[in-house]
Amino acid sequence: MEAQDGVCAMCRQSCASGRKLAIDHDPATGETRGLLCRSCNISLGLLKDRPELLAAGISYLVRSGQAFPTEALADLLHISTD
Ligand SMILES: [Zn+2]
């Protein structure tokens, strides 16, 4: 978690509310997954930690006209677009 350099593991920002980052746990195992800002921590909880709901949300936003640069997705997924 020290590798996160004080930023959220999801949005890579410091907590906008000025609060400390929350320790995120895997609800199934209880193991620590990383540090999250309040917004990302709440968002994951509301989406029940289900990747398919997160992906559905991305699909919904893109279909609704939200710009989503390929480079940003590649960076998030740690893949190369070359
Ligand atoms: Zn965040």
* CATH number of residue 13's parent domain: 3.40.1800.10
Q: Looking at the structure, do residues 6 and 36 belong to the same domain, yes or no?
A: yes
> Which residue has tokens 């029940």?
48
CA of 41 to the centre of ligand 1 (A): 7
Which tens digit of pLDDT belongs to each residue from 25-65?
988 899 999 999 999 999 999 999 999 999 898 888 888 88
Residues 39, 55 within the same domain: no
Mean pLDDT of 18-27: 88
| Whether 36 and 2 share a structural domain | yes
pLDDT value of residue 18:
73
Residue position matching structure tokens 């190369």 = 80
Q: Mean pLDDT over residues 62-71, rounded?
A: 79
Residues in the chain: 82
Residues β-bridged to residue 52: none
Find the 73 Cα to ligand 1 centroid distance in Å.
16
Between 23 and 17, where is the model more confident? Answer: 23
The DSSP bridge partners found for residue 35 are: 23
Structural domains of the chain, count? 2
Give the predicted TM-score (pTM) of the model. Answer: 0.74
From ligand 1's centre to the CA of 29, what distance in Å? 22
**Using CA atoms, how far apart are residues 32 and 27, in angstroms rounded to an integer?**
9
